[in-house]
Structure 1
């Protein structure tokens, strides 16, 4: 059980890390204006994204060690022989996807470190390999369990699900950062946050639709339509908890768009946004907590056998 929890912890860390590496620069590309990208992509985001890429490399190395130890049955990591790592990396689909991820992370780190003079290009050059690195995780989960046309459909749905989730998580993290930085003495920060929420509204609809369709498809492909498994198996119960957190996030996102954001705009017009901003911060904190809980559940679900869901 110890190895299982180690694998779950590493998977959770990778999900969160790689979602940020794709979702944060993506948000910068569609939500920030050009001069704002120059402001935010240099110091606050540049350092954050470089650190995120480096942490992704460390987590990937740790994840490979955990997998090799589990496959070899070794007592500890020092006992895992070199040929086990070579076999996993060079002779398995998971190993090939790991190599692709490491290459993508290297490109993202280089872009974050060396392209500071070109903020828009920098964000694009991080987001693209970030998307590739995130997509590589699909080969370590249930998305790679099938062959043929069904396998392609399942893998594609899993990748789209990951990318859509990353777009939401990345935007949410940016909202949290902006809400913390938006002080009452600097109304332009609060105005920026309000506009960012509006910019996310349209793409947010696409994200939600994508998550619903791909999530339903993934469960159907895993469980073969066995709805009874939602209440009769551990896998199904965890899925219901995940779905409940997703519904909570939907409700909070709707509150941000139709209640808290207009309230913040109105407060700015009257010269005092302290209460409105505090309410938005609290709501964003709850939404981020729910998103974190979902990622923990996804990491856990990925370690369960699909046969459990259809049993």
Structure 2
């Protein structure tokens, strides 16, 4: 049960920080996006801070074996003040509190990047070398940029949000702006994904794929391939279709199709994040 709680807590924290960074970043390069960013960003930062506290307490309890708070407190202090994981946690809390106080897009994107990058210190990269840690951080940031953009596009393509031609055009422009960003994201995710595998397992498949770690990793790669197919559909078909619908004055069908495709893409992405949260608790050794 404790292991399941740990996985679910990691999943919730990953999703929250990925969306916090990605949504704020989307607002920067898609300035015409019609979204109420600030309340959402403040709420995500607050949830992230609460989840981070719960995560630290759970980790410290597991490492110390203490259950009473009075006995646990010295271990918490030691964890925060004397370990790299604790330093990363402290930086994350400072970044999240800053967003809660003033959730502007520039601050939220930079603080969100810091908070999201801090998760790398609780993964395999922190136990290896600086290059692996950097690869983990880039992988997290690219994933956050993708998830945040998907959430933003889903919200923008809701029918009640498309109450004027200007808002429909804003959605079409945002889809177009994401094209270049999306290509860079896919490239970074692909390169860092391969690099992380090489850092963790090495240049071999061996018996790794026969164990739980390898099976989950294979599922993750297959889901990522599905996301690429949907991204290509959005890029080469549904995006242009939305632009054509503007000229014809009939945008509802195109907006609905885009929303359904991006929503499915986001669901797959969340499944991948769930696998990442699980993989972070496993050893790549078969058995």
Q: TM-score, normalised by structure 1?
A: 0.88
SS of corresponding position for 2:102: helix
2:114 to 121, 129, 132: 132
Aligned residues of 1:143 and 1:155 also touching (Cα < 8 A)? yes
Query: Is 1:244 aligned to residue 222 of structure 2?
Result: yes
Aligned residues of 1:235 and 1:301 also touching (Cα < 8 A)? yes
2:184 match: 206
Point out the more displaced range, 230-239 or 162-171: 230-239
1:47 match: 39
Is the alpha carbon distance of 1:191 and 1:99 closer, same or farther for their aligned partners in structure 2, counting shifts above 3 Å? same
How big is the shift at 1:78?
4.7
1:283 match: 261
How many residues are aligned here? Answer: 287
1:116 match: none
For the aligned residue pairs, the C-alpha RMSD in angstroms reads: 1.7
Is the alpha carbon distance of 1:247 and 1:182 closer, same or farther for their aligned partners in structure 2, counting shifts above 3 Å? farther
Q: Deviations over 1:104-156 (max 9, x none)?
A: 111222221xxxxxxxxx2111111110111110000001011xxxx010000
Is the alpha carbon distance of 1:186 and 1:94 closer, same or farther for their aligned partners in structure 2, counting shifts above 3 Å? same
Point out the more displaced range, 80-89 or 5-14: 80-89
1:176 to 154, 160, 165: 154
How big is the shift at 1:219?
0.7
Cα distance between partner residues in 2 of 1:81 and 1:290: 38
SS of corresponding position for 1:81: helix
How big is the shift at 1:69?
1.3
Is the alpha carbon distance of 1:249 and 1:70 closer, same or farther for their aligned partners in structure 2, counting shifts above 3 Å? same
Is the alpha carbon distance of 1:77 and 1:242 closer, same or farther for their aligned partners in structure 2, counting shifts above 3 Å? farther
How big is the shift at 1:10?
1.2
Aligned residues of 1:184 and 1:272 also touching (Cα < 8 A)? no
Cα distance between partner residues in 2 of 1:153 and 1:180: 41
How big is the shift at 1:252?
0.6
Cα distance between partner residues in 1 of 2:17 and 2:49: 10
Cα distance between partner residues in 2 of 1:208 and 1:263: 23
Cα distance between partner residues in 1 of 2:70 and 2:274: 29
SS of corresponding position for 1:247: helix
1:96 match: 87
Task: Could you tell me which runs of 5 or more consecutive residues in structure 1 were left unpaired when the two chains were aligned.
Answer: 113-121
2:65 to 70, 73, 95: 73
Query: Is 1:164 aligned to residue 156 of structure 2?
Result: no
Cα distance between partner residues in 2 of 1:79 and 1:300: 31
SS of corresponding position for 1:226: coil
Cα distance between partner residues in 2 of 1:197 and 1:185: 18
Task: Could you tell me which runs of 5 or more consecutive residues in structure 2 were left unpaired when the two chains were aligned.
Answer: none
Query: Is 1:12 aligned to residue 11 of structure 2?
Result: yes
Is the alpha carbon distance of 1:132 and 1:229 closer, same or farther for their aligned partners in structure 2, counting shifts above 3 Å? farther
Cα distance between partner residues in 1 of 2:68 and 2:222: 38
Cα distance between partner residues in 2 of 1:183 and 1:145: 46
Query: Is 1:292 aligned to residue 276 of structure 2?
Result: no
Cα distance between partner residues in 2 of 1:14 and 1:58: 9
Q: Deviations over 1:58-89 (max 9, x none)?
A: 00000011101111224x46575211212221
Aligned residues of 2:242 and 2:255 also touching (Cα < 8 A)? yes
How big is the shift at 1:5?
1.2
